[in-house]
């Protein structure tokens, strides 16, 4: 095998964020840019003999070209084999499953998740370890350190692999196997859920609508919902994978999944509606004229987990990210199991799952999952809901309202201000931090500040500490405001403000979340001065 050593110079902007390295496509298309980062990944690893690498992505623009480069570099850097999803397609949860099922050394996932795709939009790359989960900070820090000093990379002169054909290609002692990852993932889902019960629920006249948003879960949705569960083909929309996601923004929320929302709130609304994002790890759940917040979704799945065959024996524990509402905490207390509060980022759940401490976990950013893989999993969450609906014979709305009556309601909302110039976003954070000493005991109408901090997490498994994970303003009544900058965009910064108020009052539980939180929203504006400092009078997205 002819291996070339290519001289290069470092790029100083290759620091991975919470979900890998994300940049504009044209940045990745620069000579050596992708190869530098891939080599930095490989240089950070101690690759054993006969190691296999999993590779795939969400089908966005530049996915196929990047896969060919990674295959050639894997061959040059000592991997014996690469497993690739057919057409280069691997949803992020499916990639985690493949890594775990085939016992590969790790995997490279090509995705910018819910970000737009196309020649002028976003691309991303991240490394997952052999447990199937995102690389921990010690590895991503090592990758970044290596990227700042890289002087050469290795690449093999191999022909392009036909990714459309399932099968094995032998290349001078190096193997590339294209696999049917859709079937593998569907088999896993069928082993976990009561498919016959869901089939009966659909056959009884209940209707569902699923929106893949022209992203990676389209093929998986066809196999699971139509081929295996018997849903009509018309139950699916936007299921053809597109390199630019149909020109849309594949983020499953009330703003960007507007077409699905119109159906769910329309004249002949289905009983259940759901959407997933670009790489298939996020989900949005809707009933007939009813939206389920991700925080409530996690809590409700935990409360009804025993209706699902995979969890019939109970849960080891649950975990949520710090900005996620405390709804699941109340379920955990009732079940007598542990509930862990972690920073944002799925990698923090991995240690807890590997140690057997948690079974279910979730983030308010439309991500829910369990220990079946080490990533959040959109289609898994959809199947959880379908299984619970079929087993309980209740509607989405009745399930949620009954849950509130039992546990109380954590009225919750997230306000995103996207694409804020970085300097202005940092000014907002600095303004709030400057008030840390003076905010406690201040009174804002019905809200008295009890505590202000920047959340810090000590991992109970390995003792590692993650500081500065988001500003928390905690009120004496149990309400709270959380402020943090998101690390998932590629331009400017996204300021996220999370608002939460708990109520056991049945009348208050019926109110619209934005109405119920109106006073707290005004308090957040007063404390952050966000409208004045950024010029933004309204959020880009409200969920």
Phi, psi of 424 (to 5 degrees): -70, -40
Phi, psi angles (nearest 5°) of residue 200: -65, -40
**Which one is catalytic: 19, 44, 96, 113?**
113
Instruction: Characterize the bridge pairing of strands 52-57 and 21-24.
Output: unpaired
Q: What secondary structure letter does DSSP report for 540?
A: S
The Cα 72–Cα 82 span in angstroms is 10
Contact partners, residue 159, CB within 8 Å, separation at least 6: 171
| Alpha carbons 303 and 333: distance in angstroms, whole number | 11
- Please spell the DSSP secondary structure of 498-525, one letter per residue: EEEEEE--HHHHTS-HHHHTHHHHHHHH
Tokens of residue 308, six digits: 């699902």
Contact 373, 354 (CB under 8 A): no
Please tell me the distance from the alpha carbon of residue 407 to that of residue 302, in angstroms, as a whole number.
12
Distance CA 278, CA 216 (A): 6
CB 327 within 8 A of CB 410: yes
Nearest-angstrom CA–CA distance, 171 and 191: 35
Classify residue 538 by burial, with Cβ atoms within 10 Å: 0-12, 13-18, 19+.
exposed
Q: E-assigned strands of 174-300?
A: 174-179, 208-211, 236-237, 272-276, 283-287, 290-292
> SS3 for 44?
coil
Nearest C-alpha neighbor of 176 from the set 32, 56, 62: 56
Q: How far apart are CA 331 and CA 319, in angstroms?
A: 11
DSSP E strand boundaries for 204-327: 208-211, 236-237, 272-276, 283-287, 290-292, 317-321
- Phi first, then psi, for residue 530 (nearest 5°) are -60, -45
Neighbours of 266 (CB within 10 A): 12
- List the beta bridge partners of residue 211: 237, 275
Residue owning tokens 């019939």: 312
> Strand 465-466 relative to strand 443-444: parallel, antiparallel, unpaired?
unpaired
Tell me which residue of 494, 484, 491, 492 sits closest to 421, measured CA to CA. 492
> Has 113 been annotated as catalytic?
yes
Residues labelled catalytic: 113
């Amino acid at each position: 095998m002819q291996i070339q050593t290519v001289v290069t110079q470092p790029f100083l902007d290759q620091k991975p964020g919470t979900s890998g390295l994300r940049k504009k496509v044209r940045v990745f298309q620069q000579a050596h840019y992708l190869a530098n980062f891939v080599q930095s990944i490989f240089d950070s690893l101690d690759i054993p003999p006969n190691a296999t690498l999993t590779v795939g992505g969400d089908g966005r623009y530049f996915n196929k070209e990047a896969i060919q480069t990674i295959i050639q570099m894997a061959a040059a850097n000592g991997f014996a084999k690469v497993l690739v999803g057919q057409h280069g397609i691997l949803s992020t949860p499916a990639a985690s499953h493949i890594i775990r099922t085939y016992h590969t050394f790790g995997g490279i996932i090509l995705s910018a998740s819910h970000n737009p795709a196309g020649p002028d939009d976003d691309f991303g790359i991240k490394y997952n370890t052999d447990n199937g989960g995102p690389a921990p900070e010690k590895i991503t820090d090592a990758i970044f350190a290596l990227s700042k000093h890289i002087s050469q990379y290795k690449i093999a002169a191999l022909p392009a692999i036909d990714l459309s054909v399932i099968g094995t290609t032998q290349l001078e002692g190096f193997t590339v196997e294209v696999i049917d990852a859709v079937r593998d993932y569907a088999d896993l889902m069928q082993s976990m859920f009561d498919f016959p019960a869901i089939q009966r629920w659909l056959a009884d006249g209940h209707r569902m609508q699923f929106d893949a948003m022209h992203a990676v879960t389209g093929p998986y949705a066809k196999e699971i919902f139509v081929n295996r569960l018997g849903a009509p083909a018309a139950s699916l929309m936007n299921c053809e994978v597109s390199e630019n996601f149909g020109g849309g923004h594949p983020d499953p929320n009330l703003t960007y999944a507007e077409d699905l929302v119109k159906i769910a709130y329309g004249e002949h609304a289905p009983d259940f509606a759901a959407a997933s994002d670009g790489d298939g790890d996020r989900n949005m759940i809707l009933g007939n004229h009813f939206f389920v917040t991700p925080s409530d979704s996690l809590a409700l799945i935990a409360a009804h987990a025993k209706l699902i065959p995979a969890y019939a024996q109970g849960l080891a524990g649950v975990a949520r990210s710090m900005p996620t509402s405390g709804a699941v905490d109340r379920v955990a207390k009732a079940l007598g199991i542990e509930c862990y509060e972690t920073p944002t980022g799925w990698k923090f759940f991995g240690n807890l799952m590997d140690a057997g401490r948690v079974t279910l976990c979730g983030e308010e950013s439309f991500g829910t999952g369990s220990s079946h893989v080490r990533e959040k999993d959109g289609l898994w969450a959809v199947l959880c809901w379908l299984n619970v609906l079929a087993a309980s014979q209740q509607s989405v709305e009745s399930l949620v309202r009954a849950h509130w009556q039992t546990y109380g309601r954590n009225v919750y909302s997230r306000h995103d201000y996207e694409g804020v110039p970085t300097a202005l976003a940092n000014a907002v954070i600095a303004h709030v931090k400057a008030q840390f000493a003076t905010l406690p005991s201040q009174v804002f109408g019905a809200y008295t500040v009890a505590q202000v901090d920047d959340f810090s997490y000590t991992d109970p498994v390995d003792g590692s500490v993650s500081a500065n994970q988001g500003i928390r303003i905690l009120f004496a009544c149990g309400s709270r405001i959380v402020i943090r900058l998101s690390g998932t965009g590629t331009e400017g910064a996204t300021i996220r403000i999370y608002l939460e108020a708990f109520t056991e009052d049945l009348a208050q539980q019926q109110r619209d979340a934005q109405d119920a939180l109106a006073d707290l929203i005004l308090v957040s504006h007063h404390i952050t001065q966000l409208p004045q400092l950024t010029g933004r009078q309204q959020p880009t997205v409200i969920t």
